[in-house]
Amino acid sequence: MKNLLILAAFITTLLPPCSEGSTKENITQSTSTQNAITKNEYSLNSSKLDSKIEALDKSGEFMGSVALSYNGKVIYTNAIGFADIETQKKATINTKYRIGSISKTFTAVLVLKAIEENKITLEQTIEAYFPTIANANKITIENLLNHRSGIFNFTSDKAFSDYVTEYKTRKEMVAIISSYKSDFDPNSKGAYSNSNYILLSIILEKVYGSSFKELITEKLSTPFNLKNTYYGGKINIKDNESNPYKRSTEWTPGIEANTSILIGAGGIVSTPTDVTIFMDALFSEKIISAQSIEKMTSITGSFGMGVSRYSMHERESFGHTGSVGGFESMAMYFPNEKLGIAVTSNGDTNKKHEIISDALKFYFNDRLKEVSVESLKKYAGAYTSVEDEEDNFTFTHEKNELILEIGGEYREALIYKGDHKFLFDQAYAESFTFIFSPDKDELWVKQGNYEGIFKKD
């Protein structure tokens, strides 16, 4: 069903998801950096965002950090919780976190940079590097980048949990990935696979004759002053890194995956500040060319090259999520608005998307339009796709709000934009646009490249 692109469908994880005290110093910094904004039509309401994060701190539902940047300059930072619960070490805005699959954005940039340097091409197949991979003579570099290779996602195998904390050589990782049959013919469709970015990492090491760690440092961290970004090793609390946690009734230690297994699919350590600076440098054409960025952000099916497309508040952005052993993260960049936002955490009860959503709301400050109760009554009801009877949406109304209901369990108020048009914004996937035609009992639905007509039941 197409409406299953709601919420969890775009959560791209590397591992299954296996706080207290915002400091006065951090909040002071968030306020002072806000004053540095110039020539920007938007202005972050930092006090509202502070209050949101303070509430999460008091409830103990989130441990981590958030940053926003405008035109490459950080305008807000904040951090709550503990970097290490055992020693009661508080998190600060300089605390570092494993960013999981946001690493794929860094890796994709390195690959596109290698293409610009004539080290490899998008069209070349991978049999020279990995002759034991199924369909290696048909799988291209491009297929790896946009998840259209058909290579099985090795982290989906139950055996993965048996070796996730162990060191593996590159040869061993290739052998593991080679042991699986192909899921589908290359480029026939798309399916998210961490295996693709393991192989891309190894290709980069081969063509440059350098380790992935060295490539991140030499080509990205050093030239763009990403002081807290590098390929991770064993977690070092003394070096301002954080330990991962998961929660049922209380925080318990998460899984410290061995980064030899993660490589460029999820092995990078960073801060939200560095991530937003990196994203701005990327989209400002300081790292790769405009032509490469265009290829990177061309969405085929659900995937670009190391990024997904998100629309929030009717504004287009590109980014990625990450999840590894208790670490959770998300990064988005709005090219037209020159806005970057990132959240990194070492303990999250699914709150990072709320932080992202609220931060954007407090930044854009869009005025809400009002809609009459009589109009809402006309919109309410169940609608079924004219092309697929299993694809449907249900709407109810309460007071002056139209509510989208999903599966009888999830309910969300929609944003009215006027002229029978409503938005459903979500941090993990592209927004839905719903345009009603009450006289025809019809509904027009758009999400990303999808458009469809639905009839009222």
Answer with the residue of higher pLDDT: 427 or 183: 183
Look at residues 422, 377, 421, 418 and name the one whose alpha carbon lies nearest to residue 397: 377
Classify burial at 86, counting beta carbons within 10 Å of its beta carbon; exposed 0-12, middle 13-18, buried 19 or more.
Answer: exposed
Note whether 50 and 30 are within 8 A (CB): yes
Helix (H) or strand (E) holding 382: strand 381-385
Note whether 237 and 87 are within 8 A (CB): yes
Separation CA 286–CA 278 (nearest Å):
10
pLDDT averaged over every residue in the chain: 89
User: pLDDT for 328-380, tens place per residue?
Assistant: 999 999 999 999 999 999 999 999 989 998 999 899 987 677 888 888 999 99
pTM of the predicted model as reported, rounded to 2 decimal places: 0.83
Classify burial at 362, counting beta carbons within 10 Å of its beta carbon; exposed 0-12, middle 13-18, buried 19 or more.
Answer: buried
Residue type for 74, please?
V
What pLDDT, on the 0 to 100 scale, is given for residue 323?
96
Segment 430-443 mean pLDDT: 88
Answer with the residue of higher pLDDT: 113 or 414: 113
Note whether 66 and 76 are within 8 A (CB): yes
Q: What is the DSSP string of 91-135?
A: P-TT-BEE-GGGHHHHHHHHHHHHHHTTS--SS-BSTTT-TTSTT
Inter-CA distances, 241 with 57, 97, 216, 255, 263, Å: 20, 6, 18, 15, 18
What pLDDT, on the 0 to 100 scale, is given for residue 410?
75
What pLDDT, on the 0 to 100 scale, is given for residue 23?
32
Dihedral of CA 42/47/48/53: which sign?
positive
Inter-CA distances, 134 with 59, 128, 172, 178, Å: 49, 13, 16, 7
User: pLDDT for 50-91, tens place per residue?
Assistant: 999 999 999 999 999 999 999 999 999 999 999 999 999 999
User: pLDDT for 382-423, tens place per residue?
Assistant: 999 999 888 889 999 988 889 998 776 678 888 888 889 988
Q: How confident is the model at residue 27 (pLDDT cuts 50, 70, 90)?
A: very low
What pLDDT, on the 0 to 100 scale, is given for residue 8?
39
Rounded percentage of the chain residues whose pLDDT exceeds 70:
89
Separation CA 393–CA 395 (nearest Å):
7
Note whether 221 and 229 are within 8 A (CB): yes
pLDDT of residue 314 exceeding 60, the answer is yes
Rounded percentage of the chain residues whose pLDDT exceeds 90:
74
Helices 194-208 and 170-178: crossing angle in degrees, nearest 10, is 140
| Least confident interval from 6-15, 143-152, 212-221, 222-231 | 6-15
User: pLDDT for 196-241, tens place per residue?
Assistant: 999 999 999 999 999 999 999 999 999 999 999 999 999 999 999 9
Helix (H) or strand (E) holding 58: helix 46-59
- Would you give the distance in Å from CA 413 to the centre of its chain? 23
What pLDDT, on the 0 to 100 scale, is given for residue 326?
96
pLDDT of residue 32 exceeding 60, the answer is no
Separation CA 252–CA 244 (nearest Å):
9
pLDDT of residue 24 exceeding 50, the answer is no
pLDDT of residue 265 exceeding 90, the answer is yes
Helix (H) or strand (E) holding 433: strand 432-437
Segment 137-141 mean pLDDT: 98
In the numeric block, which tokens belong to residue 89? 């070490």
pLDDT of residue 34 exceeding 60, the answer is no
Q: How confident is the model at residue 428 (pLDDT cuts 50, 70, 90)?
A: low
User: pLDDT for 240-260, tens place per residue?
Assistant: 999 999 998 899 999 999 999
Domains along the chain with CATH numbers: 11-366 (3.40.710.10), 373-456 (2.40.128)
pLDDT of residue 18 exceeding 70, the answer is no
What pLDDT, on the 0 to 100 scale, is given for residue 49?
97
User: pLDDT for 83-112, tens place per residue?
Assistant: 999 999 999 999 999 999 999 999 999 999
Note whether 408 and 416 are within 8 A (CB): no
Could you tell me the end-to-end alpha-carbon distance of the chain, in angstroms, rounded to an integer? 17
Note whether 455 and 441 are within 8 A (CB): yes
SS3 content of the chain, % helix, strand, coil (to 5): 30, 25, 40
What pLDDT, on the 0 to 100 scale, is given for residue 105?
98
Separation CA 152–CA 134 (nearest Å):
10
